[in-house]
Structures are given as structure tokens and as C-alpha cells.
């Protein structure tokens, strides 16, 4: 009998299981993992299993129990039906026994922060939009928030590590991953393993500006939700550099089901985005936060602007992608 390992956490019908309880299930009846909710990678004997959405990285396909190299069963938790508000509250409750909340001042992270009541961290260049918004949000919510000011030399030093870690090495993904790098670095340095984050809300509820003019909104949302697996892989790869991982309440099975049941036209209309989420958020956070339209992470933190400056400084005046490719080649000794 080999050792049992569990990365992340497991729940059944809204109740968290301890590592000892999880091991008892998998030893007695490995197929019992098919009802496991949560964010996890489990490994024992010749078996391993990953959570339904593949939030926690590991070998093997997402949402599957694999033993001796064969998929024995799919992992499909089926919690009791609930409203979107109940889903979000439950999703955050299940994740908030430990960790730090990544706060950027928008409705997504603001709602998670208010429900979790954990210490918060915000990152950005000095004077950046996100640091100012996070400070305001923390004040309104009465939460402690550490502001981490990123410098240009730090970005330049981090860039090769980020590019080496992430699967898709383009400017957008690099900019987002760079910002997440500094969140994860702070979390790891301060002993946190779990980072509560607002990822997934834009795709599930229609948060991007391009949705306002989309003639195929339903299809666009479905495509972007399908792409969340890739985004999770990117962010977890960076978090892993510091022994941490991202926990994503909006990608809880309850929240995803409730969000998918809402027609796209109710999520984005009359020039407004993420309407259902904002309506629920207003029950838990001040309207100033619930209605706020914030910038994307890489812009609000100031990291994207700094990345462009570094590209120009290094002779890549017209193409950040060429600069990224150059760093990748140098890292591989080419």
C-alpha cells in the first residue's frame, strides 16, 4: 500500500472532508471519488484523481479517476439545486477556512473578499488603478489588505520565470501571469497555500467589454467558459512557483450550473455587464463596489504598460511578442 496524498480540498454535498476521511473513502471504495466536489488532486496506490473542472493540476485528465493508467470513472458531483446567490455563498464558505484573497477592487474579487472575510492582498505598480481600487474596497469592506508595489526591475527579473512556466507564451497571457506571479509570491512568502480569486466571473456572467456589441453572445460566452481550463492551467503554473494554488469560487459546480441556467441576454443588456452577479453582490457589498466596472488585471495593475516599456528598452519597439519569444530563446540557450 503506497502513501496517500491530497492537494487541495474535497467536499460532499456542502460538507468538507478531512484528509483522513478522504483516504478512508478511496481505500474502501475508489469509485466513491466520483461524487467528490472541491478542488483536488488525489494520489494513492496505482490511482489518481482530479476534480471535475481540473482546477488543481496533476497528471491525467480533469474530472476522472485513473487506476493503472485506465479511466475507471468520471468525477461528477451532484449537489442539491440552489439559487445563484446560495451557490456563491456556499462556494466561498467551503474555501474560506484558510488562505488569502486576491483583491483588485472590482465586483468579482470584492464579493469573494466580503464573504470570505480573509486577509487580502493587492498588487500593482506604484500609483496603479488596481492598488487604489483595492484600497478603497478594503476600506469599504473593513478588511485588512496588504498592497504590494511592483517595480520595473522586479518585472524584468520575473519575466523569464513566468514565460518558462506558462503554456501559452503570448502578450495577453504573459501580462496576466506576471500580475499573478506577484500575488503568488507574496502569498507563498507569508505562509499561505491557498489564494481565493475571482477568476471565471467574466466568462460566466458576461464581464468583457466585447460582449456589449457581440451579435453571438450566447456562443461567445460558451466558448470563453470552455477556455477557463486553459486559464486555470496558466495561473496554477505561476502559483506553483511559490508552493501556492488558486482557489476559484466562481468555478464551483453549483455556481457554474446556476450561471449557465441564466440566458445570455439577462447577463449583458442596456450597456451593462455581469448583471446577475452585480444584483447578488449588492446584497453583500456596497453598491459602489457592486456596480464598479474595473480594468482587466494586466492593465489595472500597470504590468502591461511596464511590459511594453521593457520590450522597447530591449530593442523590440513594435512587438511585445518578439520580446517574449527572445526571452524564451535565451532561457533555452538559443
3-state secondary structure string across 153-186: HHHHHHHHHHHHHCCCCCHHHHHHHHHHHHHHHH
pLDDT at 296: 75
Residue 33 — pLDDT band, cuts 50, 70, 90? very high
Query: With 0-12 CB in 10 A as exposed, 13-18 as middle and 19+ as buried, what is 123?
Result: buried
Give the pLDDT confidence of 260-295 residue by residue, as tens digits: 999 999 999 999 999 999 999 999 999 999 998 877
Please give the share of the chain, as a percent, with pLDDT higher than 70.
98
Rounded alpha-carbon distances, angstroms, from residue 29 to 11, 26, 66, 74: 16, 5, 13, 14
Q: Phi/psi class of residue 134: alpha, beta or left (left: φ > 0; alpha: ψ in -120 to 50)?
A: alpha
- Is 331 a residue whose pLDDT tops 70? no
Give the pLDDT confidence of 131-171 residue by residue, as tens digits: 999 999 999 999 999 999 999 999 999 999 999 999 999 99
Give the pLDDT confidence of 112-121 residue by residue, as tens digits: 999 999 999 9
User: Is the alpha carbon torsion for 193, 202, 249, 257 positive or negative?
Assistant: negative
pLDDT at 332: 58
Verdict on whether the full-model pTM lies above 0.85: yes
Give the pLDDT confidence of 100-114 residue by residue, as tens digits: 999 998 999 999 999
pLDDT at 302: 87
Give the residue with greater pLDDT, 237 vs 297.
237
Please give the share of the chain, as a percent, with pLDDT higher than 90.
85
d(CA 198, CA 188): 19
- Is 333 a residue whose pLDDT tops 60? no
pLDDT at 295: 72
- Is 300 a residue whose pLDDT tops 90? no
What are the cell numbers at 144? 485588512
- CATH numbers and ranges of domains, the chain: 5-74 (no CATH), 84-300 (3.40.50.620)
Residue 1 — pLDDT band, cuts 50, 70, 90? low
Give the pLDDT confidence of 225-260 residue by residue, as tens digits: 998 988 999 999 999 999 999 999 999 999 999 999
Residue 317 — pLDDT band, cuts 50, 70, 90? confident
Amino acid at each position: 500500500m503506497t502513501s496517500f496524498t491530497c492537494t487541495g480540498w474535497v467536499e460532499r454535498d456542502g460538507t468538507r472532508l478531512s484528509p483522513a476521511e478522504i483516504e478512508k473513502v478511496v481505500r474502501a471504495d475508489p469509485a466513491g471519488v466520483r461524487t467528490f466536489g472541491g478542488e483536488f488532486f488525489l494520489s494513492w496506490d496505482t490511482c489518481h484523481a482530479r476534480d471535475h473542472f481540473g482546477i488543481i493540476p496533476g497528471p491525467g485528465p480533469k474530472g476522472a479517476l485513473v487506476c493503472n493508467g485506465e479511466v475507471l470513472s468520471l468525477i461528477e458531483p451532484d449537489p442539491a439545486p440552489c439559487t445563484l446567490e446560495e451557490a456563491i455563498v456556499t462556494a466561498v464558505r467551503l474555501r474560506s477556512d484558510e488562505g488569502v484573497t486576491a483583491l483588485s477592487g472590482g465586483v468579482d474579487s470584492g464579493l469573494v473578499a466580503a464573504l470570505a472575510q480573509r486577509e487580502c492582498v493587492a498588487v500593482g505598480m506604484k500609483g496603479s488603478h488596481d492598488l487604489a481600487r483595492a484600497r478603497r474596497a478594503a476600506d469599504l469592506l473593513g478588511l485588512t489588505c496588504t498592497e504590494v508595489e511592483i517595480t520595473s526591475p522586479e518585472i524584468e527579473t520575473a519575466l523569464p520565470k513566468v514565460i518558462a512556466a506558462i503554456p501559452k507564451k503570448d502578450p495577453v497571457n504573459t501580462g496576466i501571469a506576471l500580475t499573478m506571479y506577484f500575488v503568488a509570491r507574496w502569498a507563498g512568502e507569508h505562509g499561505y497555500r491557498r489564494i481565493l480569486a475571482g477568476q471565471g466571473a467574466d466568462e460566466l456572467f458576461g464581464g468583457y467589454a466585447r460582449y456589449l456589441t457581440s451579435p453571438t453572445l450566447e456562443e461567445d460566452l460558451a466558448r470563453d467558459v470552455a477556455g477557463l481550463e486553459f486559464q486555470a492551467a496558466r495561473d496554477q503554473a505561476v502559483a506553483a512557483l511559490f508552493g501556492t494554488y488558486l482557489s476559484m469560487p466562481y468555478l464551483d459546480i453549483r455556481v457554474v450550473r446556476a450561471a449557465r441556467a441564466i440566458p445570455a441576454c439577462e447577463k449583458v443588456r442596456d450597456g451593462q455587464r455581469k448583471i446577475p452577479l452585480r444584483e447578488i453582490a449588492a446584497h453583500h457589498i456596497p453598491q459602489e463596489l457592486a456596480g464598479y466596472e474595473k480594468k482587466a488585471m494586466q492593465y489595472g495593475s500597470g504590468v502591461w504598460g511596464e511590459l511594453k516599456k521593457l520590450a522597447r528598452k530591449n530593442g523590440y519597439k513594435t512587438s511585445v511578442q518578439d520580446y517574449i519569444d527572445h526571452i524564451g530563446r535565451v532561457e533555452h540557450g538559443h
